[in-house]
Amino acid sequence: MDDIIRVAKAHDVDAIHPGYGFLSENAAFARKCADAGITFIGPKPEQLDMFGDKVTAKQVATDAGVSTIPGTKEPVASYQEAAEFGATHGFPIMLKAAMGGGGRGMRVVDKPEDLKEAFERASSEATQAFGSGEIYLEKLLTHPKHVEVQVIADQHGHTMHLFERDCSVQRRNQKMIEFAPAVALPQALRTEICNAAVKLMASVHYVNAATVEFLVEDGKYYFLEVNPRVQVEHTVTELITGIDIVQTQIKIAQGQDLYADIRLPKQDELTYNGAAIQCRVTTEDPANDFMPDTGTIVSSKLPGGNGVRLDVVRAFNGAVVTLYFDSLLAISCVHAAVLQPDARKMSRALTQFQIQGVKPNLPSLRHVSA
């Protein structure tokens, strides 16, 4: 953090966009930017603190009248407290790192005898990833859809949604494939979820971009968490709305009004066009239990064509993949008028990918998309 601030000041940088990595949700970094007179392109530090703590975030949702999954009101400090929760609410239950996200520090526990080991492992992983081993617990929904709503808000009190995404296709709590709009979601429920997300974020006078995540099961929705940043999957929302979310973030940080200055459509005038799909291409070997792979990319051929968007992270010749960074190589997105030709377009794009030197997860993506 200090090195980034030092380089920014040396080159008269007046604003920093933190991307969608760990610093994008780091309140300490946002405060360091403010102390240095640099604009942090994101929410206020106190809002990062609020939504960085999942227990606090859940209480905020409850206060806003948004339904939540039954769970602990405070982080639990011991296995004994976790066992009491399980005995009261029944199994299966979900353990989650109170201060984290991205699937780290999470465990599903199906029966009481598995709880002790799962609790210790989740707490240890949370400590390593986020500096805090605090764990909270929730009753596990067994067959939910994972639906998230893109929200954008300015400094003038305007909060709006840019519709929703279906992120149900996951592996080890990491999203693999995302759809926008959400698949097989009734229109009335879609509207209700999107309005709940706006209501929640407006209740805390949120500023900038955020994603409000929900679990949907049996026609009901439950608040899951808020990611107070732009997410990897924001690209599918951009494709169906035509709104550049990152550009909008920068303009909001400049103090511009969503409607008067940026000239976004009012909420009741906003529409989406067609359907979009995103696949995350990573260096994880499907033939070896998705273990991360390392090495140097010696050859790469990337897809293209009408309706194909490719955000390249490291899928280029000479890129070195190590164990010390995220495994993401590229983000492949497609857009079409309806979902079925969209899926065919994604299948074709995944077939066109050729990466040599590291083992990507392309075989599993091709299998799912087929």
- Paired with 310 in beta bridges are 332
CA–CA separation, 194 vs 174, rounded Å? Answer: 23
Q: Measured between alpha carbons, how far is 246 from 267 in angstroms, rounded to an integer?
A: 19
Question: What is d(CA 64, CA 34) in angstroms, rounded to the nearest whole number?
Answer: 29
Residue 109, token pair as written in the block = 């526990």
For 111, 170, 214, 227, 267, the CA distances from 220, given in Å and listed in that order, are 25, 21, 10, 21, 24
| CB contact burial 343-358 (16+ within 10 A = b; e otherwise) | bebbbebbeebebebb
Q: Of 129, 105, 165, which Cα lies nearest the Cα of 22?
A: 129
Q: Which amino acid is at 98?
A: A
Cis peptide before 292 (omega within 30 of 0): no
DSSP H stretches of helix in the chain = 2-10, 27-35, 45-52, 54-63, 79-89, 115-130, 187-203, 234-241, 245-253, 339-352, 362-369
Cis ω for the linkage preceding 181 (within 30 of 0): yes
Spatial contact of 126 and 104, defined as CB atoms under 8 Å apart: yes
139 is catalytic: no
Tokens of 111: 């029966």
Dihedral-angle region of residue 230 (phi above 0 means left; psi in -120 to 50 means alpha; beta otherwise)? beta
314 and 297 in contact (C-beta within 8 Å)?
Answer: yes
Q: Which of 58, 175, 251, 345 is catalytic?
A: 175
Coil, helix or strand at residue 203:
helix
**Dist CA 34 CA 16 (whole Å):** 11
Residues taking part in catalysis = 175
